[in-house]
Amino acid sequence: MTVVVYHNSACGTSRSVLALIREAGIEPAIIDYMAAPPSHEEMLALLLAMNMAPRQLLRTKEHLYLSLNLDDENKTDRQIIDAMLAHPELMQRPIVVTEQGVKLCRPTTKVLDLL
């Protein structure tokens, strides 16, 4: 089984999901999205696969969320995606991709549906 994890090593949930995948005997491909954010097209594909609007992937408790006025309901999907790609810390994580689907694995146990 191929598993890809969009991972942030500073995030406890992301580390827990990675540990669950490895406990299942799978060594996933890890994408450090903080160092290498997805392209705009990749982000659109992930959102489409998760059936999520860009705003749903935002971390609203990050300082940047307010300083970039992302709480403004008039911000377009494109503006929100551009903000997340420019500042990947704004993205919820981890996102896990398998043949079973794509999910934002919060809470951690959501990854079990993909394994």
Q: 3-state secondary structure string, the chain?
A: CCCEEEECCCCHHHHHHHHHHHHCCCCCEEEECCCCCCCHHHHHHHHHHHCCCHHHHECCCCHHHHHCCCCCCCCCHHHHHHHHHHCHHHECCCEEEECCEEEECCCHHHHHHHC
Confidence (pLDDT) at 75 = 97
- What six digits make up the tokens of 49? 């696969």
| 3 pLDDT higher than 90 | yes
What value does the mean pLDDT take over residues 99-103? 97
CA-wise closest residue to 25 among 97, 95, 102, 115: 115
pLDDT in tens, 53-95: 999 999 999 999 999 999 999 999 999 999 999 999 999 999 9
Q: What confidence score (pLDDT) does residue 63 get?
A: 94
* Residue 1 confidence (pLDDT) above 90: no
Taking only the tens place, the pLDDT of each residue in 19-51 is: 999 999 999 999 999 999 999 999 999 999 999
What was the pLDDT predicted at 60?
96
Report if pTM > 0.75. Answer: yes
Is 11 labeled as catalytic in the residue annotation?
Answer: yes
Among the listed residues 3, 5, 11, 97, the single catalytic one is 11
Under CATH, which number does the domain 4-114 receive? 3.40.30.10
- Any idea where the domains of the chain sit in the sequence? 4-114
